[in-house]
Amino acid sequence: MKGFKLSSREYQENDTQINIDTYAKKLSIGQGQCTIIAGPCAVEDRDGYLKIASFLKSAGAHALRGGLFKPRTSPYSFKGLGRAGLDIMLEARQLTGLPLVTEIMDVRDLDFLYDNIDILQVGSRNMQNYSLLEELSKLDKPILLKRGLSATIEEWLLAAEYILAGGNKQVILCERGIRTFEPYMRNTVDIAAVALVKQLSHLPVIVDPSHATGHWKMVAPVARAAIAAGADGVMVEVHQDPDKALSDGKQSLTPESFSAMYQQLMEIAALNKTRID
C-alpha cells in the first residue's frame, strides 16, 4: 500500500488530535479519548430534536449529529429538511453546548454549512467526490470522512489525502461497513480495518455501527468491539421513538439503550488507557 503520504505514520508519528473549543465543553477527538457522537438520522421536527439533544447532553454524548440533506437511493424518499432544519440544530447547540455534525453533499452548500456547523461529514457515497473533497481541503474545519461502501482501505486513506493535501489537517475517518454478500445486515463492519488504519495513519478513526448494521440490537456489541479494537469513538443514531422515525428507525437506539451502551464503552475505553501496544 502506498500513495498516501500526509495521512501516514511515516509522515507524522503521533496521533492527530482535533480540538473543537468554541463551546462550554472543549471537545478533543483522537489520542485515546472515546468520543461519542449521537443523534437521530435526520432532523425531523424541532421538539423531537431538542428533546433528544437534551437527553444526549445529560447522558454524556460529546457531539450531536443530525442530517439536513439525506442522500436517498430513491428520488421518491424523504430527503431531509435541508436549510430549514438548520435553525433546529443551532437551537440544540445553544441548549446543550454540544458541537454539531452534519453531512454535506453539494459544494454549493459549503458557505452555508461552514458558517454554522462544527464538523462536516462526507458520506460514503461521496467519498470519491473529488470536487467536494478539494473544496473541503481549503477549510479550517474538521471533516468526518466516511469510508465508501466498497472502498479499500487504501482508497479511503487517499480520499483523506485529498483533504490533507489541500491544507486541511483536521480529518476524522469513519468506518461504516462495507458491502459484501452477507444479506442479513445492511453492511459488514470491517473491524480489522479500524485497527489497521490506526497503525498506518495518525488520523482519528471512529465507527458508525448504526448504518453499518442497520439493526439497533447490533449497535452496542459492535460499538464495544470498535472501542476494544482501538477506535477513537463511535457515531450512533438515537431517537426518542425509533418506530416513528422518518428514516432509519430500525437502527436507532432508544435513550435507555444508549445509556447502557455508553457505560459499556467507557469501561472498555478505560482499559485502553492502561494498555501499551
Site residues (vs its own copies, CB under 8 A): 1, 3-4, 71-76, 105-108, 125-126, 128-131, 149-150, 152-155, 158, 161-162, 165-166, 178-185, 188-196, 198-199, 209, 212-213, 215, 217-218, 221-222, 224-230, 264, 267-268, 271, 275
Give, in order, the Cα–Cα distances in Å from 196 to each of 31, 200, 276.
16, 6, 16
Q: Which helix (H) or strand (E) holds 108?
A: none
262 strand-pairing partners: none
Task: Using the minimum distance from each CB to its own copies, give the nearer residue, 14 or 273.
Answer: 273
Nearer to its own copies, 6 or 53 (CB): 6
- 252 neighbors 210 (Cβ within 8 angstroms): yes
**Nearest approach, Cβ of residue 140 and its own copies (Å):** 19
| Whether 56 contacts 18, CB under 8 Å | no
Distance CA 158, CA 182 (A): 27
What is the DSSP code (8-state) at residue 97?
A: -
Shortest Å, Cβ 71 to its own copies:
6
Distance between CA atoms of 184 and 215, rounded to whole angstroms? 10
Question: Given phi > 0 = left and psi -120 to 50 = alpha, else beta, which region is 203?
Answer: beta
Q: Quick count: other Cβ atoms within 10 Å of Cβ 275? A: 8
Residue 61: CB minimum distance to its own copies, A = 20
Among residues 95 and 268, whose Cβ is nearest to its own copies? 268
Q: Nearer to its own copies by C-beta: 20 or 205?
A: 205
Q: How far is the CB of 50 from its own copies (least distance, A)?
A: 28
* CA pair distance 111, 204, nearest whole angstrom: 25
The nearer residue to its own copies, 140 or 182, going by C-beta atoms, is 182
Closest distance of CB 201 from its own copies, Å: 13
Rg of the chain taking only CA atoms, in angstroms: 17
Specify the residue, 97 or 166, whose C-beta has the smaller distance to its own copies. 166
Instruction: Please give the Cα distance from 20 to 250 (Å, whole number).
Output: 31
Nearer of residues 14 and 73 to its own copies, judged by Cβ: 73
CB of 129 to its own copies, least distance (A): 6
Nearer to its own copies, 172 or 269 (CB): 269
Q: Residue 182 burial by CB count (10 A; 0-12/13-18/19+): exposed, middle or buried?
A: exposed
Query: Least separation, in Å, of the C-beta of 22 and its own copies?
Result: 29
Backbone angles phi, psi at 2, to 5 degrees: -155, 180
- In whole angstroms, the minimum distance from the beta carbon of 218 to its own copies comes to 5
